[in-house]
Structure formats: structure tokens, C-alpha cells
């Protein structure tokens, strides 16, 4: 009974007056949220560039740069002319990731097996690496290696500019992948088959001739 009396007393003390909202006025200036459509902005910019000729000019600049890069690729970094002769044997063996079969389906190598490609394919041409901006190196390579016997590979310079005067095809070691694989640090250098290995040699030119 005491607990019931306490609850009834507390209920009588509750204020049942309905709540009302109050207007405190405007406290600051407000603005609508405006979000620009990014794709629309890009489209408008492209249309403006097209109408003013900027787009065509930009395309021509990019085209010219691409052609120039093809004609004269970035030189391979970290190479210099040889001042002492070096020669070593390179083992071209690799570990294959997948089973290798010939055209008839015969198994040549299992995945994970170490394989020397020289056991199956011979290096038909010598590889000759030169600095294409060094006339002595280019002349030396052309004089000593025929187009049938070798591939002359530039690590710097423009192979296209040298093709016409020498009347033969030249190549370029893009990104230095080949010289990096063979460990070449100086030019001119040659890679020649020697049995199932490759003989790598850095040559020294004296007075423009070896």
C-alpha cells in the first residue's frame, strides 16, 4: 500500500500541459546547396577546347611527341663506353611456370623444371649492342657484323636515322631489358652462342677501331 501511494503521488506531480514550439527568428543567412556535375563540367571544357581549336592543337602535340619517341626512344640508363675488355658466359636457362609442349603435343618440359632454350633453339644471329649516338661504335658494328650474321641493337640514339645511310635495319633495346638480362654495363658489347651457353663480351675501341 505504501508503494502504491508513492506512485499515485508521483503521477499527480507530472505536468500535463501540452508542449508548444517557439520561433527564435533567423540566426544567419542561408544558401541553397549547389553541386556541379563533374562529367558535365568536363564535357563543357572539352567542347570549348574543340570549338577554339585547342583540342586539335593538343592532339597534334601528342602525336608529334609520340612519333619523336618512336624515332628516338629513351636511352638505356647506366651504360657507358667500355674502357677495359670483359667477357663471360651467360646461362640462359629458366624455370618454366607451365608445362611446355611442341606443335604435336609432345611434352618438352614440366612446370617447375629448369630448361635451357639453347637445347632446342639455336641463336641464329649474334647480338651487337652499341651506343647509336657514338659514330665509332656504329661504324665498328656495321663493319664487323653483316645483316645476315647479326642484329645491331641500339641502347641510345635513333635507329631510324641510321638505317638509310647504312642501308640496313637496326633495333633498340627498349627499357634495357636485354642488356639487363645479360649483365652488360658497357658498349659496344656482343652476345654470341657458345655451345649451350652465351658468350657476352664488352669490347674496347681505340681510335674508333678495334
Give how far Cα 194 sits from Cα of 27, 44, 103, 127, Å: 90, 64, 27, 13
pLDDT score of 108: 81
CB count, 10 Å around CB of 70?
11
For residue 102, name the pLDDT band (cuts at 50, 70, 90). Answer: confident
- Asked which of 7-21, 28-42, 143-157, 172-186 is least confident by mean pLDDT, the reply is 7-21
**What confidence tens digit (pLDDT) does each residue in 18-57 have?**
555 566 555 556 656 656 677 888 888 888 878 888 777 7
Torsion of Cα atoms, 143 then 144 then 150 then 156, to 10°: -60
CB count, 10 Å around CB of 109?
18
Mean pLDDT value across residues 182-208: 92
pLDDT score of 47: 84
For residue 10, name the pLDDT band (cuts at 50, 70, 90). Answer: very low
**% the chain with pLDDT above 70:** 80
- Asked which of 22-36, 58-72, 99-113, 168-182 is least confident by mean pLDDT, the reply is 22-36
pLDDT score of 208: 45
Mean pLDDT value across residues 51-73: 77
The residue among 188 and 110 whose pLDDT is bigger is 188
pLDDT score of 178: 96
pTM tops 0.85: no
All three cell numbers of 209, joined, read 677501331
Amino acid at each position: 500500500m505504501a508503494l502504491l501511494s508513492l506512485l499515485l503521488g508521483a503521477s499527480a506531480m507530472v505536468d500535463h500541459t501540452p508542449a508548444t514550439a517557439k520561433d527564435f527568428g533567423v540566426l544567419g543567412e542561408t544558401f541553397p546547396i549547389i553541386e556541379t556535375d563533374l562529367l558535365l563540367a568536363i564535357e563543357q571544357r572539352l567542347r570549348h577546347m574543340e570549338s577554339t581549336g585547342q583540342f586539335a592543337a593538343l592532339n597534334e602535340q601528342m602525336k608529334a611527341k609520340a612519333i619523336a619517341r618512336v624515332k628516338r626512344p629513351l636511352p638505356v640508363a647506366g651504360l657507358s663506353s667500355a674502357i677495359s675488355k670483359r667477357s663471360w658466359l651467360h646461362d640462359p636457362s629458366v624455370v618454366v611456370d607451365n608445362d611446355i609442349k611442341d606443335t604435336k603435343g609432345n611434352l618438352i618440359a614440366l612446370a617447375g623444371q629448369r630448361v635451357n632454350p639453347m637445347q632446342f633453339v639455336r641463336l641464329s644471329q649474334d647480338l651487337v649492342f652499341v651506343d647509336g649516338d657514338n659514330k665509332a661504335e656504329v661504324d665498328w658494328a656495321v663493319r664487323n657484323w653483316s645483316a645476315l650474321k647479326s642484329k645491331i641493337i641500339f641502347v641510345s640514339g635513333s635507329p631510324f636515322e641510321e638505317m638509310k645511310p647504312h642501308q640496313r635495319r637496326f633495333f633498340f633495346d627498349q627499357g634495357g631489358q636485354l642488356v639487363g638480362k645479360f649483365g652488360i654495363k658497357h658498349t659496344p658489347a656482343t652476345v654470341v652462342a657458345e655451345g649451350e651457353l652465351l658468350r657476352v663480351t664488352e669490347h674496347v675501341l681505340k681510335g674508333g677501331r678495334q
